[in-house]
Every structure is written in structure tokens, then in C-alpha cells.
Structure 1
Amino acid sequence: MSYEFRDIEKTTSPPDKRPVESLTFSGHNLDDEIAEFHTVNVDGRDNYTRKLQVADTFGDGDFFLNSQLDHNIVTVGFFLIADTTDKFNSAFTRLKYLLQGDEKEFYFDDEPEFVRVGTVTKLTNTEPGSLSVKGTIEITMSDPYRHGQSKEVTGGNVAMINDPQILYPQNVDTIVVKLLPQSTDNMRITIGNSYIMELGGGLSANSTVVLDINNRTLTMNGTSILNKIKIMNTNIFEAKIKKGDKVVCLEAIQIKVKYRVKLL
């Protein structure tokens, strides 16, 4: 599953009236929009679990096959305090409304540079009947990562990936190549020592080639050229980048590489 993230306008420091861990869910800051709502604490952001696939052995232990990260659950504790029953009911109804929807973007004021994706799977009121209650919001992240803002690296026929936030291999979103001012029969893009794409069939001078890895499209001047890919020499749609990688296209006068850092 892939997600198309928007850049959400966020401040680098939360306003004084907000708790430091104030939650913005699907574009709505709960502390701002509901006067009776007050964020207390957030738990689970730094957790992760990994599922192992193993096989039985004749000896001790198991034989490791593979592993994958499981979903993560973030829990937000809050107070909802009102001075009348009508105000309390209205505030809780508003809260439930703002938390609706599947796979919504959310972030916290103390990490404004990262966006997460999740679905509210539980909302609890621990003191029903009271006008001053402590409750919890449980957000299940099917994608356990937090995602940074879009970044772009440019170069001539070589673009160097030298981002200190890249702690482990990351997905590439797009690679845009501006071709040399003469036509060419072939074109080759490499990422590090592992990923490659080769094209054949003629490419026009000064053309712009856009490889969209997320959507698995390839265009030249806006027209699809997927038919020009040499399939047996191409694995770039599975590409990952790591710090120190070079994206190279000798037929280019400019390369632009866009990506988003994701961290646990």
C-alpha cells in the first residue's frame, strides 16, 4: 500500500495554549477546535513489533525465514471538561466526528516535521456520566513509519544522496531527467550498485523524462514511454536509496530525485 502525502502547514513550535504533544488529526487540531478538550499524554510513538516467519528444525530453536514490521498503535490520553451536560455532549460528539475516516494523516506538535498515517480504532470515556472525564484515543498505524516532508536532490548527470536522516534504505518517489541537446537511441539510469533502468527505441533531444516509481509510470514530455523499457535490464521500480548512493544518467544534463524519509 502506498500513500500520497500532502505537506501540512505546521509551525516549528506549538502555540502557548497547546500541550506540547497536541494532536492534529486529518488537518484538525483537537485542542484548538474543541475548547473542552485537553491533551494529557501520548504513548506508543516509539514502539514497534516485528513478526518473524520461522520453520521448525531438528535442533534447538527455529530456522529463520524472514520478518516484517507489524502495525503500531499510538494512544492519546485526554481530558474532556465541561460545565454543563449540553456542552459536554456537544464536545464529545464533535470529537467523534473529527476522528472519523480511514488512513488519515496526523502529527504531534513536538515533531512537526513528521507525518503519520492511521485510523482511530478506539475512543474511550473512562468516567461515563461525569462532566470531567479522562479518555483515550487509540490510533492504529497500518504503516508503522513516520514520514518526513518531501526532499529533492539535484545534479548534472549525477545526483548524490547525502542525507543524514537516511538511517536505512528509503523509497524513491520520482526521478526527473532533462536529456542532452541531442537525440539518443538509448538511456540508462542507475541508483547505487543495485538498481537500473534501460530504455531503447529513440529519445528526443532536450526531452524531459519523468520516472514515477510510486505510480509505476514513465513519461517523456508528458507521453507514456513504458514501451521503451528494456524489461530484462530494469529493476528500478523496486529501488531503495541509502546515504552515499549516486543516481547516474550519462545522457542527462540535469537529474532531480524526490523522496521522503521515513523513520520508526
Structure 2
Amino acid sequence: MRKCSPWTLLPLMFSSFTAAGLWVVYFIAVEDEKITPLSSEYKRSVSKSPPYISIAGDAPPASCVFSQVMNMAAFVGFILGVLRYLQLKPRVQKPWLNIGSLVALSLACFGMTLVGNFQLSNDEELHNIGTSMTFGLGTLFCWVQSFMTLKVNLRNEGRRAGIPRFLLSGAVTSCMLLYFALMAQRMHMHAARAQWALVMFFLAFLGTFGIEFRHYHFEILCSDEQEPPLSLSESFSEVSEYQSDQL
């Protein structure tokens, strides 16, 4: 039986550890009585705040964990985006879609750093800009990647990976629209639940890249000064795990 590439673990570990980190932030905030638990009803008369992710990570010690989680998620998410771009680059007929997808995820990851490092109570405007970048551009990335998954059809697995991605993209979009609609109506408890669902669906989407990553591994090639310099696209080499494909 042919083995999977170890690179398949990167998207899965990214999604799992990021989700776990955010729930740690939530439970710390609940334990410190900063927010109302998701399972209960929010009452304005109570001193606790609704359980939005940003509010959960607004005050220490939860804010310290929140910043670390968001910074690490932004870094690894950007790496995933670059690897996915290089994986699709030789096969896409419309390069601008692949480039646009990478740019969207890169800006979404930058938005994550703004969300994590500029807490809501310290700089609300910059924090909200980061939130809009993360949710908006992250949703765009999901739809573009879903389309390219079916179009490129890597190893004839386009439908296997593409259909779940379209469903997850729809779930992310629905949760985002629901979140803003509920926020406008000041239904904060339901809006917070929609926000948590949105983030979990988005992380699940990124975890699906393990489907295609299991067939590939990526290498960084280095040469001395006597060799011609390598471009960025050449320095990352996509190699099939099956030796028969190289013969």
C-alpha cells in the first residue's frame, strides 16, 4: 500500500491546533467570568459580555493566548497558501485565479495578525479592519479554491475534494451573512454562535488541503554561488511521492 506524504499532516494540524487554541481562549474567558457561555442566554443586566471571539480574547490572560494563536495561525496559513499556489501553478489555465487566491489568503492572514495583536478595547477600528479582512478575503479564498479544485482535478480527485469545499464555502458565507444580520439586530448571543461556527467551518476548509497534499512533498533547493540563482517558483520543487511518476 502506497504511503501518504507527511505534508498531508500540515493542513490537518493547522486546523486542529488553531481550533483548539481558540477554544482554550474561550474557556479561559468563561472561567474568568469575562463572557457569557455559548450554551446560556445573554442578559444585559449581567456584567458578563457576549461570547464573541474578539471579546473572549480581549483581556489577559486570555488575550495573551489569543495573540499567540492568531499569529501562529497567520504564519502557517500563509505557508499553506504558498504551497497550494505552487501545487496548482503548473496546472491552472488562468494564472490570475491562482495568484488572486494567494493574495486573498495572504491579506486574510495579515488581518489575523491585526485581530490578534490589536485587542478590541485597545484599538477597535484597527481590530475591526483586521476582522473584515480575515472574514471577507478568507471567504473569497474559499470560493476561488473550490472552483479551482474542480477545474484542475488533481489526480482525478476534483469531485472528492471540490464538493465538500463548495459545501464548506457555502457554510462560511451563510454564517458570515447571518453573523452581520444578527449583529445589526443586536441579537448578540446568536451572532456570537454564528461567528464561532464561521471560524470552525473556515478552519475545516483549510484542513481539506490534506487531500491533495498527501500525494506531494515540497523541497527547498539551495545552490552555491557558481550555480545560476533559482527563482522563488523554482526553489520550491513539487515532487510526486511515487517514484514511478518520475521515470
TM class, shorter-length:
under 0.3
Of Structure 1 and Structure 2, the greater strand share is in: 1
TM-score normalized by the length of structure 1: 0.21
TM-score normalized by the length of structure 2: 0.22
Of Structure 1 and Structure 2, the greater helix share is in: 2
